[in-house]
A and B are shown apart, each in its own frame.
Chain A
């Protein structure tokens, strides 16, 4: 199961990230992971959220340049060599990881050249794939009691 990542085009200047985050807050969207990278002039903000459709709609209403990209979310066991093991699976099959960032602790996001194939490959490995529903569930659980694990 891939996860819908929201990508936003933004010019590199103060406030570009908070503007998007404010919009998410208004729309009741909770951010579970993000990355911001830029060229010095413009950048791409990437978000994993609990309600991607609402997030996208809120940004489009604002006229933002944004898009949805299928990415994989993996839960790694917190042990040495774990990241290398997972990356090794993809590397051996010629799948390039374009970018990667971590969500909460050991939850990481990978954008790959072939998300469906990468997902299928990883599904047969001892690694937990996180679904969009899981992310929503973590959020919901968090509202009820402390921090989910």
Chain B
């Protein structure tokens, strides 16, 4: 960052410069009265809304009434936030089993929009939003895009597909709510995206991080000058964003990038969003979501700030009032105020799911650990692919990683030493010795949408 860089968030590099200088007063906050409220006040809002939500679910959704009756818990039993633990969990299977409208709390004429999440197996999950739900969702998005320095008047280009996937419309409505002009370009046709950025003066790009990287690379090949481009902000979602990849995109496209967290079953994107003070965490919209972190095996809460499975209860959601949704996402939540001035709790970015975990020779291995190690090795890119194989009853972990062009030398000895160095670093973290394969630059597929990192070839 040059000393002369502007701290004006509307200028390229301004938001990052202001954050680097600790000048968070220069960054916008959409709803300071809640985002910077004292914790007692946040918790008071949560408790009031939790009581209403539980009563609403009990009255309107037969599934919850039956479940709560079976467990011997009534809405009046919810007197503190900790009482949420007396309520039943909701798993994705419940939404699937009640497909399509079993959990809906309002008749369809009060629903303004339906969305669905793709089911990898069997039926999809369908969710419905009332007018109030849409307003709440838009507000959550408006808050998180402002954390990245997006302001009214920005021109935002959508590179997510629209359709029933919540990412596209969620960001679209939230950015409009803030006062941005939306360009609903949709997915695909990378060269056209770049042309539109130039033609329409796009300042904000909404994309998956892997697609943003692809746009970056295609632009570079076309000779497009990202430094001179009007593009200023990247809003990422749709897949986890490895820190190394984000840093690389920021450097090569000369933009600031943040990502947000959310899932269709509780709303969609916007449950939490990254601020520029804590780039490995995201502020939860706590007035709209009550969070818990539990041990995925026992269902009991983990200690303050410890890693566990995130459980979410949307507060005041009308279309589908979900109680204690088990996300299967692993995170830890921190409640100390943030340097950005927000008091809303921060969750560590979700790097792994309780069901992503690979058990190799009895050791738990998370793909995110592999990514962390590779990010710290300058000779390779953050792109990777994991293969797990069995040979004679033994599990083998193979990690493919991409060589950076400048790290190549005309010597098998040097290349092999690099391979051994990477394997040793991985072993130190994973506690399992992997085989490392060096792949030529660009040799690891850049997935558009959910990047596939793991190929488990063991017989299930």
Residues in A24-79 with C-beta less than 8 Å from chain B = 37, 39, 41-42, 44, 46, 60, 63-67, 69
Ordered by A's residue number, 19 sampled pairs between the chains whose C-beta atoms are within 8 Å are: A5-B410, A7-B408, A9-B403, A9-B408, A11-B439, A39-B412, A42-B440, A44-B410, A44-B411, A44-B412, A46-B410, A63-B405, A64-B440, A65-B404, A65-B408, A66-B408, A67-B409, A69-B410, A111-B410
A10 at the interface (CB under 8 A from B): yes
- A140 to B253 CA separation, bound complex (whole angstroms): 43
Residues in B414-439 with C-beta less than 8 Å from chain A = 415-416, 437-439
Give the chain B neighbours of A10 by CB distance below 8 A: 440
Residues in B391-409 with C-beta less than 8 Å from chain A = 403-405, 407-409
- Those 3 A-B pairs whose CB atoms lie nearest each other, nearest first: A65-B408, A7-B410, A69-B410
B442 at the interface (CB under 8 A from A): yes
Residues of A within 8 A of B (CB): 5, 7, 9-11, 37, 39, 41-42, 44, 46, 60, 63-67, 69, 98, 111
Residues of B within 8 A of A (CB): 403-405, 407-412, 415-416, 437-443
- A137 to B408 CA separation, bound complex (whole angstroms): 30
Give the chain A neighbours of B440 by CB distance below 8 A: 9-11, 42, 64-65
Tell me the smallest distance from the CB of B130 to a CB of chain A, in Å: 49
Q: Among A11, A42, A44, A65, point to the contact of B405 (Cβ < 8 A).
A: A65
Tell me the smallest distance from the CB of B389 to a CB of chain A, in Å: 15
Q: Among B410, B437, B441, point to the contact of A67 (Cβ < 8 A).
A: B410
**Residues of A contacting B: mostly:** strand
Is B441 a contact partner of A65 (Cβ separation < 8 A)? yes
- A66 to B443 CA separation, bound complex (whole angstroms): 14
- A63 to B402 CA separation, bound complex (whole angstroms): 12
Give the chain B neighbours of A67 by CB distance below 8 A: 408-410
Give the chain B neighbours of A111 by CB distance below 8 A: 410
Tell me the smallest distance from the CB of B1 to a CB of chain A, in Å: 28
Is B407 a contact partner of A65 (Cβ separation < 8 A)? yes
- A63 to B404 CA separation, bound complex (whole angstroms): 9
Is B441 a contact partner of A63 (Cβ separation < 8 A)? yes
Give the chain A neighbours of B441 by CB distance below 8 A: 63-65
Is A64 a contact partner of B405 (Cβ separation < 8 A)? yes
Give the chain B neighbours of A46 by CB distance below 8 A: 410
Tell me the smallest distance from the CB of A30 to a CB of chain B, in Å: 21
- A44 to B441 CA separation, bound complex (whole angstroms): 14
Tell me the smallest distance from the CB of B107 to a CB of chain A, in Å: 56
Tell me the smallest distance from the CB of A56 to a CB of chain B, in Å: 11
Query: A68: nearest residue on chain B (CB-CB)?
Result: B410
Query: B409: nearest residue on chain A (CB-CB)?
Result: A67
Tell me the smallest distance from the CB of A133 to a CB of chain B, in Å: 22
Tell me the smallest distance from the CB of B322 to a CB of chain A, in Å: 46
Is A41 a contact partner of B403 (Cβ separation < 8 A)? no
Query: A70: nearest residue on chain B (CB-CB)?
Result: B410
Given contacts A9-B415, A42-B437, A63-B405, 12 further A-B contacts (CB under 8 A): A7-B408, A9-B408, A9-B440, A11-B440, A41-B437, A42-B440, A63-B441, A65-B404, A65-B440, A66-B408, A67-B409, A67-B410
Give the chain B neighbours of A60 by CB distance below 8 A: 405
Give the chain B neighbours of A64 by CB distance below 8 A: 405, 440-441
- A60 to B438 CA separation, bound complex (whole angstroms): 18
Give the chain B neighbours of A9 by CB distance below 8 A: 403, 408, 415, 438, 440
Give the chain A neighbours of B410 by CB distance below 8 A: 5, 7, 44, 46, 67, 69, 111
- A42 to B409 CA separation, bound complex (whole angstroms): 13
Query: B402: nearest residue on chain A (CB-CB)?
Result: A65
Query: A69: nearest residue on chain B (CB-CB)?
Result: B410
- A127 to B176 CA separation, bound complex (whole angstroms): 77
Is A11 a contact partner of B412 (Cβ separation < 8 A)? no
Give the chain A neighbours of B409 by CB distance below 8 A: 67
Is B408 a contact partner of A11 (Cβ separation < 8 A)? no
- A32 to B405 CA separation, bound complex (whole angstroms): 24
- A46 to B443 CA separation, bound complex (whole angstroms): 20
Tell me the smallest distance from the CB of A12 to a CB of chain B, in Å: 10
Tell me the smallest distance from the CB of B252 to a CB of chain A, in Å: 13
- A64 to B443 CA separation, bound complex (whole angstroms): 10
Give the chain B neighbours of A63 by CB distance below 8 A: 405, 441-442
Give the chain B neighbours of A39 by CB distance below 8 A: 412, 416
Tell me the smallest distance from the CB of B215 to a CB of chain A, in Å: 16
- A41 to B440 CA separation, bound complex (whole angstroms): 11
Is A42 a contact partner of B408 (Cβ separation < 8 A)? no
Tell me the smallest distance from the CB of B213 to a CB of chain A, in Å: 13
Give the chain A neighbours of B408 by CB distance below 8 A: 7, 9, 65-67
- A42 to B443 CA separation, bound complex (whole angstroms): 12
- A63 to B415 CA separation, bound complex (whole angstroms): 18
Query: A98: nearest residue on chain B (CB-CB)?
Result: B411
Query: A60: nearest residue on chain B (CB-CB)?
Result: B405
- A9 to B440 CA separation, bound complex (whole angstroms): 7
Give the chain A neighbours of B411 by CB distance below 8 A: 44, 98
Query: B435: nearest residue on chain A (CB-CB)?
Result: A41
Tell me the smallest distance from the CB of A63 to a CB of chain B, in Å: 5
Q: Among B403, B412, B416, point to the contact of A65 (Cβ < 8 A).
A: B403
Tell me the smallest distance from the CB of A32 to a CB of chain B, in Å: 18
Give the chain A neighbours of B437 by CB distance below 8 A: 41-42
Give the chain A neighbours of B404 by CB distance below 8 A: 65
- A65 to B403 CA separation, bound complex (whole angstroms): 8
Query: B437: nearest residue on chain A (CB-CB)?
Result: A41
- A6 to B412 CA separation, bound complex (whole angstroms): 15
